[in-house]
Amino acid sequence: MTKMSRKLKISGKLLLILSGILFISIVANLLFLVNFSEKNIVVRVVDGDSLDLKDGRRIRLLGIDAPERGKCMFEAGKAKLEEMVLGKRVRLEDIVTDDYGRNLANVFVGNILVNKVLVEEGLARFVYVKSRHYEEMKKAQKDAKAKNLGIYSPLCRKTSPQSEECNIKGNIREGRKIYHLPNCPNYKEVIVDESFGDRWFCNEEEAVKEDFIKASGC
Annotated catalytic residue within 6, 69, 102, 173: 102
Active site residue 89: no
DSSP codes joined into one string, 172-188: EETTEEEEE-TTSTTGG
Whole-number Å distance between alpha carbons of 140 and 112: 14
Whole-number Å distance between alpha carbons of 29 and 141: 43
Phi, psi for 205 (deg, rounded to 5): -60, -40
Active site residue 102: yes
DSSP H or E run through 60: strand 58-61
Active site residue 125: no
DSSP codes joined into one string, 102-122: -EEEEEEETTEEHHHHHHHTT
| Residues of the chain by 3-state class (helix, strand, coil), percent to 5 | 35, 25, 35
Annotated catalytic residue within 60, 125, 157, 199: 60
CB 109 within 8 A of CB 57: no
- Residue 184 neighbours by CB distance under 10 Å: 18
Annotated catalytic residue within 68, 93, 136, 206: 68
Dihedral sign for Cα 65, 71, 82, 58, please: positive
Catalytic residues: 60, 68, 102
